[in-house]
Structure 1
Amino acid sequence: MPRIHALLPRSLLRRVMLLYAAALALLVVSGFAVFLSYAASAMLEDAEGDAQAMMALLSPAVADAAVIGDYDTIQRTLDRTIAHPLFRGAAFIDLKGGRIEVARRGHPTPVPPGWLTRLVATQEAPLSVPINVGGRHYGDVHLAIWSERVAAEIWEVAQLTAVLASIGIVAGVSLVWWPLRRWLGQLDRVRDLGARLQQGGQAVLPMATDEAPLEFQRTFEVVNQVAASLQAERAQAAVTLASIAEGVATVNRAGVVVLANPVLGRLLGCDSSALLGQPIAQQLPELSIDATPDDGWHGRRFERGERVLEASLAPVRSDRGEPAGAVIVLRDVSEQQALENRLRAELEARSHAMDAMSEMLGAAGAAAAGARAGAIEQLSSQVGDLVTRLRRQTGQLHAIFNLTPDGFIAFDAQRRVQYISPACVFLTMLPDRDLLGKDEAGLAALLQGRFAEPETQRPLRLQELREAPRIVQMAKPMQRILSLALHDGGDEETPQLLHIRDISQQFELDRLKSEFMTAAAHELRTPMTSIYGFVELLIHRELPPERHRELLQRVHRQSRAMMDILDELLDLSRIEARRALDFNFQPVCLDDLLRHTLDDFGVPPEREPPALTLAAEPLWAQVDAGKLGQALRNLLSNAYKYSPDGGPVAMRLMPVGETHVDIEVEDHGMGMTPQELDRVTERFYRADRSGAIPGTGLGMAIVKEIIELMGGSLLLRSEPGQGTTATLRLRRIAAP
């Protein structure tokens, strides 16, 4: 709900218009859907009736020609049939399998979207009629309705209806906007009343309620009552302030004076009524007043003419604790300041007298101390140099400890914590106030409490850390792996030092390396086992030439699989090592790149090539054409492999605003679960666990590396049993 409120307009007028526009659009869209459904059904029924009528006329003509074997007449009859705009193709199949087929070429105008054509095709089944003459069967006549033409007529009606519906929505909103704006615009009277209330000292005239709507009239009456009550309270406050001996001013959140008593006007040398509505910062520039301070202050003195004034400030907050203004109090402290000046002058005179007496007494012993003056000065110089070096070294040590990622805890002679480095607080998530002064047992207990599952861990004893460091896993929210080691401090003041080092990254790298080696060994062992077995069989047995050739072909296929794995591993390694240094970035027309990629891609046998959809205008991007083509070929290969039951594969190019462009590869295959979708770009991970689909599990990892090094991103959407859509999003550039 908070997100929905954040999206709504702030003004009431816009919210009402948004609600009205949404309701009107819902009604118009509902009517549009009902009308379009009725029109589509009517067109489909007309097309089916026309097709059946044409078939009734076509069958006798074909039957006469089939009896005498006049296939040229059948050909001309079928040609005349598809001249009708309703049919896409016609065919005659005789008893021996001979086929006479004619088909229409081209597309209707306007061209309907593909989904509508497919929907119409599912509703219109091809017509087929057997040719029987004299009890003898001569063949079958087939008619295919031109679904694209029917879809074009439906699409043309839908576009016209959509334009009329849009015009209706715009006209409806425009007709309501003007009167609604005039009625709701009267709410500005409340704002004008508020502005007059902010100007303290002015009479507040009640708002007229005769022309406003009934609900606004009631609201204005309540506001008038509140304004009158505020005026009365302000008048009472003015009487109360007039009886106070100090100058008092009240300011609002904007720093404007809303109340001021006569004493304040006398102290500032002006009439108090002239202060109302004026910024307090202009009246008291000596104080730099903040109208909404967090805390108050008092005792700030300044001079105004011959007077010395003392100011205090107290913040004012609303019932919800928000800053609402401040109250400023001024007092005349001229006499008090004069008394303090005289007292200060007397103390300074006495101090000068004491200094003069000390100089007279010190002169008597000056001769006796002359011999020691040189030694004392030399010793003082050496002590000063030593202090300077110690400060410099201390600053360097603090800088080192603040910058190092390792944590250090130093102990004093009683083996209690006396120093904690900043990194130690970050690594252990323990504040230094909890650690300072702790002995070894107390420090060990605090660290033990931060372990992951501390009740299952053996107790921590610091002295055992002298023999070997201990590796521990810390708990959330800062889950990490630490190494704890205890070292000698080197002197009695710091006998020992606890060293804490974060080794989480090292553990993670070791884990990733182990997983990678395991997966690579497993993927390479599978084809290698087959190769080894087949070669051993060829060595130890005499086989027929056909069997011998079959085994060699299997060895070749398994070797090719190993080469594919090694090639993709090398590609991935080079991409990661070079980090796009060998990429040839240049402006590329993505329309041409997609066409060339589809022309070069080898579509599996008995599968339709991918359907390509381009934008209305050519789209450009700054990419490496070869690497991007490699990524697209990997996506197309996956689309065909993971839709083994068939289904269309589509590639689309579309703009995303003015800054980006998307390349989508969509299939209607087996799809993936959310868990599989999260891991699909991991190396050697494959959604198909059966092994029936060939592959290395490295293709998506290569796609992700390539597209990210080009400054783009890989987006994946998938539903089990519905298919997968992979989107490559790149930064768009202008055509060179």
Structure 2
Amino acid sequence: MLTAVSDEPLRTPLADEPRARVLLVDDVPANLLALEGILEPLGQHLVAVRSGDEALKALLLDEYACVLMDVQMPGLDGLETARLIRTRERTKHLPILFITALSREAAYVTRGYEYGAVDYLLKPVDPDILRAKVSVFVELHLRGEKLRQQALELAERRRVEEELLRATELEQQLVGIVGHDIRTPLAAILTTAQAQLSREALPAAQRKAFERVARGGERIQRIVDQLLDFTRARVGGGIPVVPGAGDLNELCRKVTDELRAARPERSIHCEFTHDSLHGVWDLDRLAQVVANLLDNALKYSPRDTPVRLRTYEQGVDTVYLEVQNAGAPIPAHVLPTLFEPFRRGEGPGQRESLGLGLYIARSIVEAHGGTLRVESTPEVGTVFSLCLPRQALADGRAHSPCASVASPMTA
């Protein structure tokens, strides 16, 4: 019989510590109880079975740190069970400790080691020594599991990095294709169409055909420009801006005049707290942002409602621009991903859009050190709010006066 008596104080394992399985094999229930009592202070998962067959089944189901096994058992004895364990690839290196009351004759010990034992303990077993031996194998097992997990994580990290590298290379190839292989013939098409449309004597049918060509070419040109901006924002270190002194209000007037000419049936109201609002920004890029916000506001609001554009300043360091429309509010489930790429709105004509406009607009604003956010409610409608530092910053939002603006849920 085994005894669980020991003078060593019990250790309570921490709840978040990893645990290993230890397999106990003995046909005598009292011996299994004694082993569990001895090893319980280690805080590991103890699995007790009463035959060699049960031990082999248990080893098929789970990973174990070590096996403590009696030699003399009916059916498959401990030595034969050990031999079968060693024949399996998965368990060929599993530590096996024999515990037996057999004679101390060298022949028995030798057979135990020949059949795969790493240790051979004779009853009565000293509980402290047994715990010490098992704890060594548990520690080795847990370290091995940790190393395997780290290896898997490293392999996954490398796989993700390789995929990102391939994606970056693909996007860079796209820049080359779009920037040259498409733009060059597209420019020739647009030039030819515009040259034909400039002829006063062009027959009506041909004029209509060239107008369709010009409109189609201009739409392709917009898509090409968006793809290039998207790629720059993703893999080119951000959309480049070239700041220069200018008047934000004057820029807004020019953009709204162009949109009014294109959509004479719609009303755009501008509200400026000052006649001029001077700063240092990339005006061409900001015109792209304002045009996108106004165009979206016109698309997603009733034809008989005005779109409102407002600019104002706050202190000497920041200026604000707001675009508001009275259309139906943006659905709550759409708001968190509104500024992500390839997010298209719902409505007629949206199939022609890539869904990159707001992503590019936010990238341009952030390249200035600013913020772009949105609020959408049934009472107010949808308001896009743009905050800009008076002077565009080269180092982004971290040192921008706009960085203190409350972070919206979508920006």
Which TM-score applies when normalising by structure 1? Answer: 0.27
Higher Cα radius of gyration: 1
Which TM-score applies when normalising by structure 2? Answer: 0.45
